[in-house]
Structure 1
Amino acid sequence: MSVVGGERSVVEKWSPVMVIVGANIAVGSVNALVKKALDGGVNHMVIGAYRNAISAFILAPLAYFLERKIRPKITFRLMIDHFISGLLGASLMQFFYMLGLLYTSATVSGAFLSMLPAITFALSLILRLDSVRTLKTKPGILKVVGTLICISGAMLLTFYKGPQIANFHSHPEALHHHNNNDQDKANKWILGCLYATIGTTLLSLWMLFQGTLNIKYPCKYSSTCLMSIFATFQCALLSMYKRRDAQDWVIDDRFVIFVIFYAGIMGQAVSTVATSWSIKKLGAVFASVFTPVTLISATLFDFLILHTPLYLGSIIGSVAAIMGLYVFLWGKNKELEIVATLCPPIQNEDKNNTNNNNGSRLSV
């Protein structure tokens, strides 16, 4: 019995980690594929609307059959909460993040996404979800230093592209176009980095918001389905910011259709449910720790499969962002060790009190 219990506890301990890692691998591959589709001229919010609609369609039957007995009553406040969740975690986030993806690359956008833990930590301090007093401790100092290194990596990604260092497949036309429009490309690169930063910040806000929403409405399939429904209409409205052509909604390219379905199923439905569940198990800040997996997945997928060239600035900036992340994690681990050393005496005292009470009852 103890062995089985031990095995079960190990599975329970590591399953949120495995789930969040898988979700980030999926998001990385989605980003690389969406980048390829956006380069073909597709309206990025049309992709956003379709992927959210597919997500809602996939999750609706799961929500109905798996959660109908445990689902809390939907109130007006909960509807507003899910509307906000759709704005932060889907429509507005995708609006800015996919613009950043369009103007840069899947690797660069993934690097900005890798700074999610640092941004989430900074926002938690601003919103008073974390105590400012912890900054004076060694773990707090490490987390601040890690955050600053992450920001430095982001600045490097933004303002230094550098020479092309690797490209298995040459693209003479693309290189010629780049040389003819060097200044325009540089401006779009900086703008794309700004958009990716805004998108990542909105995702951080969503993770913090989702942590409270999970408590009020703990049904992951129903919650993600509601979020996707709201986000579908929000994305449709946002798609009109540039032009209002009904032809944008007619997709006849097979690759783009595949990307939309893959993004809707893996990048929206599966990854959002997995992330929401992991936030519930691990907390918003710790769940965001695994976002560098998105960068690795996007880079490998982008370079090896889609044959996109790599640049020196992207590599150095990405390495700096990941180094900053793991300095941040070092501080987080120190913080957990301090908490662990404080908890056992309390637990032992409670255990002794319980044993004494049980003993007195038995003696009676």
Structure 2
Amino acid sequence: MSVVEGETAVVEKWSPVVSIVVANVAVGSVNALVKKALDGGTNHMVIGAYRMTISAFILAPLAYFLERKVRPKITFRLMIDHFISGLLGASLLQFFFMLGLYYTSATVSCALLSMLPAITFTLSLILRVESISDIKSKAGMLKVMGTLICISGALLLTFYKGPQISKFHDSPEALHHHNNNGQDKTKNWVFGCICATIGAVFLSIWMLFQGTLNIKYPCKYSSTCLMSVFAAFQCALLSLYKRRDVNDWVIHDRFVIFVIVYIGIVGQAMTTVATTWSIKKVGAVFASTFSPIILISATLFDFLILHSPVYLGSIIGAVVAVVGLYVFLLGKNKQTEAAAKLCPRNQNEDKNNNSSINNDGSRLSV
């Protein structure tokens, strides 16, 4: 193998990993900024609609110029698929996840999002994307154990808030919780955790669905653009659930305008393209295993830059969820190693069979 071929192989191997890592860092920063905007009272689905509209405008010229020669013909079936993609991966995801973000914090919401590999694994078993027969193996047991630990971390995040351990007390979120009584605070916290978990389930379903859609329609810019167009209308309709006021769509706050533009370009257009491409290269389950990076990124933005309060239950629950994730990853790694050992063995058996056939004239006549 030449040096150029070696470098090309390294780039092909690590490009999806780098892509999904950068995308997850961006998502973490987006969630922290959106939390700040939501604390100001902005309708969360208005933010979602503007986000998807900006994403569509950014991606439309890229899709036209970069993919016009290779883009498959759009059929009615593909339009339906992209409508479903927008519903799962944008509209319903944002509806529930941003509600969870409003009632909890960026750290808690992203910690619940860290359950994504466990959720994706569970759904892939239900949908027979992953083999159920492998559960009884050592690798399978580790994956199941990791999934259960992740769920335990999520339950801890939901039902145990604990004392505030940060020194910042002047954030909108802190004032919001301070002004409510203890019962309302607990109800809002549990409700927020449930909504964020539902959002993570929709994201997981979208990742599995996207794996199939990538085969039918492999053009990442065009696919994300179509998804964004459908999702923009879906988000606009979902915004009516809270309040039917035209003034909700008029944004005066410069910070909120910056957040909407940032999440439209970085948090939607760029990250969705990167995630879609990574899923195509390495699969939905593997791509989902990098979700704890979202938690780390969101926590750093949330605490160091936005000065949001951090609670003991959030830290403990997040640590438990991440430990569960890496137990899951250990099982996944053992499964991959076992498959790699099995593959050469099968290849050797094929070679031996071919040799025996070539040395036996009667078998050559078959």
With the length of structure 2 as denominator, give the TM-score of the two structures. 0.94
Instruction: Sort the Cα spacing of 1:176 and 1:269 in 2 relative to 1 into closer, same or farther, 3 A.
Output: closer
Partner of residue 103, structure 1? 103
**Equivalent residue of 1:166, what SS?**
coil
Q: 1:242 to 1:178 in 2, by over 3 A?
A: closer
Does structure 1 conserve the Cα–Cα contact (< 8 Å) formed by 2:173 and 2:309? no
Cα shift readout 1:229-263 (whole Å, capped 9, x = no counterpart): 00000000000011110110001110000000000
Q: Which residue of 1 aligns with 2:363?
A: none
Show the counterpart of 1:68. 68
Partner-residue secondary structure (3-state), 2:165: strand
Q: CA deviation at 1:271?
A: 0.4
**What is residue 116 of structure 2 aligned with on the other side?**
116
Q: Do structure 1's residue 143 and structure 2's residue 143 form an aligned pair?
A: yes
Q: Match for 1:18: what amino acid? A: V
Is the partner of 2:244 in helix, strand or coil? Answer: coil
Q: SS state of the match for residue 290, structure 1?
A: coil
Determine the structure 1 residue equivalent to 2:318: 318
Cα distance, 1:55 vs structure 2: 0.3
Equivalent position of 1:261 in the other structure: 261
Distance apart, 1:4 and its partner CA: 1.5
Q: Which amino acid aligns with 1:127?
A: L
Mean alpha-carbon deviation: is it higher for 47-56 or for 337-346? 337-346
How much does 1:178 deviate?
A: 3.2
* Aligned counterpart, 2:47: 47
Q: Which residue of 2 aligns with 1:7?
A: 7
Name the CA shift for 1:222/1:352 in 2 (closer, same or farther; >3 Å).
farther
2:359 corresponds to which residue? none
Change beyond 3 A, Cα 1:174–1:121 = closer
CA distance in 2, matches of 1:55, 1:174: 28
- What amino acid is the match of 2:37? A
How far apart are 1:348 and its partner, in Å?
5.2
- 8 Å CA contact 2:174–2:309 kept in 1: the answer is no
- Describe the superposition over 1:192-250 as per-residue Cα deviations: whole angstroms up to 9, x where unpaired: 00000100000000000000000000000000000000000000000001111011000
CA distance in 2, matches of 1:8, 1:180: 58
Question: Residue in 2 aligned with 1:82?
Answer: 82
Q: Which residue identity does 1:36 align to in structure 2?
A: K
Contact 2:86 2:230 in 1 (8 A): yes
Please name the residue that 1:332 is paired with: 332
C-alpha distance 351-220 of structure 1, shift in aligned 2 (>3 A): farther
Question: What does residue 178 of structure 1 align with?
Answer: 177
For residues 243 and 176 of structure 2, what CA distance do their matches in structure 1 show? 25
Which structure 2 segments of 5+ residues have no match? 356-366
Could you say if the C-alpha distance between residues 175 and 61 of structure 1 is closer, same or farther in structure 2, counting changes exceeding 3 Å? closer
Partner of 1:275: 275
> 2 CA distance for matches of 1:194 and 1:80?
29
Q: What does residue 297 of structure 1 align with?
A: 297
Quote how far apart the aligned CAs of 1:294 are. Answer: 0.2
- Give the share of equivalent positions with the same residue, in percent: 76
Q: 2: CA distance between counterparts of 1:164 and 1:279?
A: 38
Structure 2 equivalent of residue 341 of structure 1: 341
Tell me which moved more, 307-316 or 173-182. Answer: 173-182
Aligned equivalents of 2:293, 2:282: Cα separation in 1 = 17
Residue 28 of structure 1: how far off its partner (Å): 0.1
In structure 2, C-alpha distance between the alignment counterparts of 1:280 and 1:350, rounded to whole Å: 30
> 2: distance between equivalents of 1:174 and 1:114?
22
Q: 1:183 to 1:228 in 2, by over 3 A?
A: same
How big is each residue's C-alpha offset from its partner over 1:16-73, in whole Å with a ceiling of 9 and x where there is no partner?
Answer: 0000000000000000000000000000000000000000000000000110111000
The alpha carbon displacement at 1:171 in A equals 2.1
Report the Cα distance in structure 2 between the residues aligned to 1:338 and 1:176, rounded to whole angstroms.
Answer: 53
Instruction: Tell me what 2:362 maps to.
Output: none
CA distance in 1, matches of 2:8, 2:85: 33
Deviations 1:80-113 (A, max 9, x none): 0000000000001100000000000000000011
Matched ranges for 1:85-234 at <5 A: 85-167=85-167, 169-171=168-170, 178-181=177-180, 182-234=182-234
Residue of structure 1 in register with 2:360 after alignment: none
Q: Runs in 1 of length 4+ with deviation above 3 angstroms?
A: 172-180, 345-355
Q: Look up the SS of the partner of 1:310 in the other structure.
A: coil
Q: Secondary structure in 1 aligned to 2:161?
A: coil
Q: How many Å apart are 1:345 and its aligned residue? A: 3.2
Amino acid at match of 2:245: D
Q: Which residue of 2 aligns with 1:245?
A: 245
**Structure 2: distance between partners of 1:174 and 1:266:** 25
* Length, aligned pairs only: 356
